[in-house]
Amino acid sequence: MSSNAITQLSGFAHLEDLPCFVLTCGQATAVISSYGAHLLSYKPTAEVEVIYLSPKAAWQNNTPIRGGVPVCWPWFGPVAAEFNPAAQKLPNHGVVRTELWQLVTQSVTGSAVSIEFSIETKALPYSDAPSYLSLTLQLTETALTLTLNSDQGIQQAALHSYFNVDSVHQVSVSPLSGDYLDKVQGGGRFVQTQAELKFTAEVDRVYLNTADELTLDQQSTAVQIAQLGHDASVLWNPWTEKAAALKDLPDTGYLDYVCVETARLDLSNKAPLQLVQQIRYLA
């Protein structure tokens, strides 16, 4: 008999009273909150946690959760002028990370478990029309897949995934050769000739036109990150000084994760959004 299931949970880790759902498929589990449709945990087995969640993360008082997989939409980073014609004070990474999403559907079969959340924004700073956004999480015994859909035209989006690592010094991500925008160096455009990125200092890069599959390698394990509907991948680690300045991250927390984010950032693309990230752990 299959033990696959979806159960509700109030609170996860130190995040008290947070509305959550636990998905179980074979040995694999995932935890997602309706607050921000935010993935908090993915364990392909009971002993392995793929996703990093800051032990100092908070969610009360409209606080974005540090770690997991935040949904960034309809803009990425600081709001650009295209999204903010009235020059309002608006949060980084959009308007849905600190909202409660609605549960749409749940599905449990012998081979997969899935859950879908949606949110309708009544208005955006650049549009009076309501907008619909949905996130579907599918868990199988071998992979976790996040699919973000929207009916909006002008938009940016990212699945801002924090990956748990034993040490940032032992991590590489590949293939990442080609053009990238470096926010550490004022947003300048550079070309990477090596096939992989290693972390030896602060990294805040937007790699353009990246492959449909990236690999995060550690010494004895790897995570494959498949992505569709993207035009960029964002690589981020704040390193020492910026980590110490973040109140919701331990001073040494930068050692424990890297962000490999699947993103759609080109504003000339007016097609409806479908952004997919699939995570597969390789022992």
Active-site residue list: 160, 261
Cα-based distances in Å from 184 to 78, 189, 237, 257, 262: 15, 11, 11, 18, 19
Backbone conformation region of residue 64, classed left if phi is above 0, alpha if psi is from -120 to 50, else beta: beta
Instruction: Note whether 200 and 239 are within 8 A (CB).
Output: no
Neighbours of 225 (CB within 10 A): 24
Range 145-170 burial, b when 16+ CB lie within 10 A, else e: bbbbbbebeebbbbbbbbbbbeebee
**CA–CA dist 129, 155 (Å, integer):** 14
Angle CA 188–192–194, to nearest 5: 160
**Residue labelled with tokens 């478990």:** 113
Instruction: Note whether 135 and 51 are within 8 A (CB).
Output: no
Reading across the β-sheet that carries 38-43, which strands appear in turn? 5-12, 15-25, 28-33, 38-43
* Secondary structure in 3-state letters for 149-212: EECCCCCCEEECCEEECCCHHHCEEECCCEEEEEHHHCCEEEEECCCCEECCCCEEEEEECCCC
